[in-house]
Amino acid sequence: MTTLVVNEESQFVRDHLNAKIEAVTSDNTNAEDKALLITEIKQLLQQEDAVMVAHYYTEPELQALAEETGGCVADSLEMARFGRDHPASTLVVLGVKFMGETAKILSPEKRVIMPTLEATCSLDLGCPVDEFSDFCDQHPDRTVVVYANTSAAVKARADWVVTSSIALQVVEYLKDKGEKIIWAPDKHLGNYVAKETGADMLLWNSACIVHDEFKAKALMDLKLVYPDAAILVHPESPQNVVDLADEVGSTSQLIAAAKNLPNKQLIVATDSAIFYKMQQAAPDKLLIEAPTAGNGATCKSCAHCPWMAMNSLTSLRDVLKFGNQEIFVDEAVRVEANKSLQRMLTFTPNK
Ligand code: SF4
């Protein structure tokens, strides 16, 4: 059984985008200034005993700099693990706010900074803790499983945190124990997990504004142009797009699929910034963006997350220099959120 819980997230998220995004995303730095910025950033990383922890959806120049300076480029789960295990005293998280919070939850003794704390996520915005907590209270018989793309407070209310790379195994495990589930916040990922596992899941009604824009009809048309291409889809996409996939998976799983599939052409339905690492993994393959609503439509993202795009060389230099965008998590919230995160980190599928 899957049931959607109606909320007002959609308009709220659009309002947030309209109010916050335009002013901060444009980085018109020229090549010469970029080279100077990169030199300054490298010096500041050393001076501050800091390491870059970047997500696959950030700008390629930031991913390249993270790699060059001994940092990591990864999905949100691996980012958190890397940050926890790295000896640096400062973690510079390039991504969106919930990733910085997760790093702080796992590494409370470290300073966690981000190029901008304005970079958030439509899934996080779409799941306010008070509303969600009330909803959980109405269904005390259900185990609460939340996606990593949530605030620290929502994680603290949950029994489990999962990422898209481990969601199927955790829900399968809970179903086998006879547990009924509340799932939040991504309705498409929840729907996919429910369909694959057959678990009894009550779904929160929120979506990723990037993946929600992928269109099945346009994807079928594109497949006619590239009949030999494999279709790779992130499960935050709508079900009718997932249904067309040759491979469904998390960011790391899609990169691995790009390498391992025999197809020389790949149509990819996730944030296009992933092409930087995907092309490294599959250098001889043609990567093609899956179609979204397109120019002139209501699409604000068009296959690239506007919040991820708020991370830039300039804002990275500024936070290293001024240290003014630091993540703090209330200690009581951190302790509770850490419990549900640790369940995921210590989970093995055959447990
Ligand atoms: Fe959130 Fe989607 Fe952006 Fe990822 S791509 S941070 S899920 S809005």
User: 17: pLDDT confidence band, cut at 50, 70 and 90?
Assistant: low
**How many whole angstroms separate alpha carbon 308 and alpha carbon 318?**
17
- Across 192-211, average pLDDT: 96
Q: What is the mean pLDDT of residues 51-74?
A: 97
CA of 300 to the centre of ligand 1 (A): 12
User: CB count, 10 Å around CB of 135?
Assistant: 18
| Mean pLDDT value across residues 167-174 | 97
pLDDT (average), residues 143-170: 97
* Residue 273 Cβ < 6 Å to ligand 1: no
In the chain, DSSP finds a helix count (H) and a strand count (E) of 16, 13
Instruction: Please answer whether residues 228 and 274 qualify as being in contact, where contact means their C-beta atoms are separated by less than 8 angstroms.
Output: no
Is the distance from CB of 239 to CB of 192 less than 8 angstroms?
Answer: yes
Neighbours of 254 (CB within 10 A): 26
CB 217 within 8 A of CB 290: no
Q: What's the confidence (pLDDT) of residue 200?
A: 98
Tell me how far the alpha carbon of residue 94 lies from the centroid of ligand 1, in angstroms: 13
| Alpha carbon nearest to ligand 1 atom 1, residue | 121
The whole-number pLDDT of residue 70 equals 98
Q: Using 50, 70 and 90 to split pLDDT, how confident is the model at 235?
A: very high
| Region 328-335 average pLDDT | 98
122 CA to centre of ligand 1 in angstroms: 6
pLDDT tens, residue by residue, 114-150? 999 999 999 999 999 999 999 999 999 999 999 999 9
- Ligand 1 touching residue 96 (CB < 6 A): yes
User: Is the C-beta atom of 121 inside 6 A of ligand 1?
Assistant: yes
**Confidence band of 29 (pLDDT split at 50, 70, 90):** confident
The residue ranges of DSSP E strands in the chain, in sequence order, are 2-5, 50-55, 72-74, 90-94, 111-113, 143-147, 160-162, 181-184, 201-204, 230-233, 247-248, 265-269, 286-289
Ligand 1 geometric centre to CA of 57 (Å): 9
For the segment 269-285, what is each residue's pLDDT rounded down to a tens digit? 999 999 999 999 999 99
CA proximity to 79, closest of 324, 311, 331, 322: 311
Residues 180-202, mean pLDDT to the nearest whole number: 98
Strand partners, 52: 92
Q: Label residue 16 by pLDDT band (50, 70, 90).
A: low
Question: Any idea what the Cα angle at residue 306 is, between residues 303 and 307, rounded to 5°?
Answer: 130
- Ligand 1, atom 2, lies closest to the CA of 208
End-to-end C-alpha distance for the chain, whole angstroms: 25
DSSP one-letter code for 263: -
Q: Would you place residue 4 in the very low, low, confident or very high pLDDT band (cuts 50, 70, 90)?
A: low
Q: Is the CB of 88 under 6 A from ligand 1?
A: no
Which ligand 1 atom minimizes the distance to the CA of 186? Answer: 7
Q: Whose CA is nearest to atom 6 of ligand 1?
A: 121
pLDDT band, very low/low/confident/very high, at 18 (cuts 50, 70, 90): low
In this prediction, what percent of the chain has a pLDDT beyond 90? 85
- Average pLDDT for residues 205-223, to the nearest whole number? 94
Per the model's pLDDT, the better-predicted residue between 230 and 32 turns out to be 230
Reading the block at residue 198, the tokens are 């057959």
* 299 vs 321, more confident: 321
pLDDT of res. 77? 84
| Angstrom distances, CA of residue 174 to CA of 85, 122, 168, 275, 345 | 29, 27, 10, 34, 16
Mean pLDDT of the chain: 92
Read off the pLDDT of each residue in 291-308 and give the average, rounded to a whole number: 71
Which of the given ranges, 22-26, 68-72, 79-83, has the highest pLDDT on average?
A: 68-72
Give the separation between CA 61 and CA 35, rounded to whole angstroms.
11
Q: Is 14 helix (H, G, I), strand (E, B) or coil?
A: helix
Average pLDDT over every residue of 84-99: 98
Lowest mean pLDDT among 7-16, 103-112, 216-225, 307-316: 7-16
* d(C-alpha 241, C-alpha 238), whole Å: 5
| 209 in contact with ligand 1, CB cutoff 6 A | yes
> What are the C-alpha distances in Å from 299 to residues 49, 62, 132, 211, 296?
40, 25, 27, 11, 8
Asked if pLDDT for residue 238 goes beyond 60, the answer is: yes
Ligand 1 atom nearest to CA at 306: 3
CB neighbour list of residue 203: distance below 8 Å, 6 or more residues apart: 2, 3, 4, 5, 183, 184, 187, 190, 191, 194
Mutate to test the pocket of ligand 1, among 149, 299, 301 (most ligand atoms within 8 A of CB): 149
* Cβ of 311 less than 6 Å from ligand 1: no
What is the per-residue burial (b if ≥16 Cβ within 10 Å, else e) of 25-56? Answer: bebeeeeeeeeebbeebeebbeebebbbbbbb
Distance, CA of 97 to CA of 62 (rounded, Å): 17
HSE-CB for 37 with a 13 A CA cutoff = 20
pLDDT of residue 23: 44
Ligand 1 touching residue 73 (CB < 6 A): no
Alpha-carbon distance of 233 to 237, in angstroms, equals 7
With bands split at pLDDT 50, 70 and 90, how would you rate the model's confidence at 24? very low
For residue 208, the CA-to-ligand 1 centroid distance in Å is: 5
Given a cut of 50, whether residue 338 has pLDDT beyond it is yes
